[in-house]
Copies of this chain bind each other. A is one copy, B any other.
Amino acid sequence: MDPERLCVVLVAPRNPLNIGAAARAMSNFGFSRLRLVRPYEAAFREARSAVRAGHILAGAEEFQTVAEAAADCSLVVGTSAAGRRELQHPVRRLEYGGSLVRRRLASGRVALLFGSEKFGLSNADLAHCHWVMRVPAREEHGSMNLGQAVAVCLYELVRRPEAVTAQPERKKRPPAGSLEEFTRLLLDVLRESGYVHQRVEASTGMKIRRLVRRLDLSAHDAEIWLGMLRQILWKLGAPGSQS
Contacts and interface: CB of A to CB of B under 8 A. Distances in A.
Interface of A: 17, 21, 24-25, 27-30, 52, 81, 90-97, 99, 135-138, 141-142, 144-145, 147-148, 151-152, 155-156, 158-161, 163-166, 168-169, 171
Given A92-B168, A95-B166, 20 more contacts: A17-B17, A21-B145, A25-B148, A27-B141, A28-B138, A28-B141, A28-B144, A29-B138, A93-B163, A93-B166, A93-B168, A95-B159, A95-B161, A97-B168, A99-B164, A136-B158, A136-B159, A147-B148, A151-B152, A155-B155
A161 B163 CA distance: 13
A53 to B, nearest CB: 8
Q: How many copies of this kind of chain does the complex include?
A: 2
Given A17-B17, A155-B135, A168 B24 contact: no
A137 B160 CA distance: 12
21 contacts: A21-B148, A25-B144, A25-B148, A27-B138, A28-B135, A28-B137, A28-B141, A28-B148, A29-B138, A91-B169, A92-B168, A93-B163, A93-B168, A95-B159, A96-B164, A96-B165, A136-B158, A136-B163, A147-B147, A151-B151, A161-B164
A81 B152 CA distance: 14
